[in-house]
Amino acid sequence: MKLNESITTYDVAEALQGETGKFDVTSPNGERYFVTCQPGHSIVSLEWAGAEPNQQPFLVRKVSQPITTEGRSKRSVAA
């Protein structure tokens, strides 16, 4: 995803597979989470814990991305 790009998804783990950076994730009921993805790491499982099955999608927006300087990686740069 590009910086500040937003998507909707029913499966956050699948949507963020292979991504890097920090993401602002809003659940269907309005709760917000920050998810950080790093190269070489993956989300093995991310499941909805509500009593009802998830009928509405999550909103995912990329809020920062890692930057590299001469072969070294810094934390992130925000928009």
> What pLDDT was estimated at residue 38?
86
Which residue in 46, 49, 54 sits closest to 28, CA to CA?
A: 54
> What pLDDT was estimated at residue 21?
92
Which residue in 50, 45, 55, 42 sits closest to 10, CA to CA?
A: 55
What are the structure tokens assigned to 58, written together?
């999550």
> What pLDDT was estimated at residue 13?
87
| pLDDT per residue as tens digits for the range 59-78 | 999 999 887 655 555 555 55
> Which pLDDT band, with edges at 50, 70 and 90, does 1 fall under?
very high
Distances in whole angstroms, Cα of residue 40 to Cα of each of 14, 18, 19, 64, 71: 15, 8, 10, 18, 16
Round to whole Å and give the CA distance between 15 and 18: 9
58 has pLDDT over 80: yes
Calculate the average pLDDT of the chain. Answer: 82
Whether 57 contacts 9, CB under 8 Å: yes
